[in-house]
Amino acid sequence: MTFRRSWLVLLLTLLVPIAAFGQASTATIRGKIMNDRGSTIANAEINAVSTSSGFVKTVHSNSDGSYTLQGLTPGEYQIVVAASGYEPRNETITVLVGQNLEMNLRLTATAVLSESITVVGQQAVETKTSEVATNVTTQQIESLPQDDRNFLNFAALAPGIRLSTDPTRKVFAGDAQ
């Protein structure tokens, strides 16, 4: 008898953890996304938003319109379905541990508005001038040598300016090479 009990205890010890692993702690929502006429909608975006934690699970419907939202923790979810050319749809659902729910949703087509937009305009024109300018700092004024203390001598510091070599004439030439 003792031998049988030992085997029974051993067998139960091995089988109980296997049964425990079989318990699901999440829920699954499956379904199809269809239009008003019953045709399936491929590539629709399905979002499951947990109302308590804000967790978002996103999937897209397959070519046959089917989708599967797996691994949802128990709680209340806002299911939001959106597809190009259709009005978005919102549903609130509560899922429990181990639940496998089927949720087929129908989307309503949006009204197609035909608009034309005419753009009238001109090409932008560059309005900047081709001026060359420079700023002379106080440090430059104090440190640069000046013979006659004429402020116009600082114009030679600007790029593209050439001074006349004639000492009797003070002439500036722009665009000097």
Count of domains for the chain: 2
Residues 103 and 142 in one domain: no
Q: How far apart are CA 89 and CA 111, in angstroms?
A: 15
Helix (H) or strand (E) holding 10: helix 2-21
Q: How far apart are CA 119 and CA 122, in angstroms?
A: 10
Q: How far apart are CA 164 and CA 156, in angstroms?
A: 10
pTM given for the model: 0.52
The yes-or-no verdict on residue 55 having pLDDT over 70 is yes
Per-residue pLDDT of 77-89, as tens digits, reads 999 999 998 999 9
Per-residue pLDDT of 137-164, as tens digits, reads 778 777 777 776 666 677 767 777 766 6
Residues 159 and 85 in one domain: no
- Inside any domain, residue 88: yes
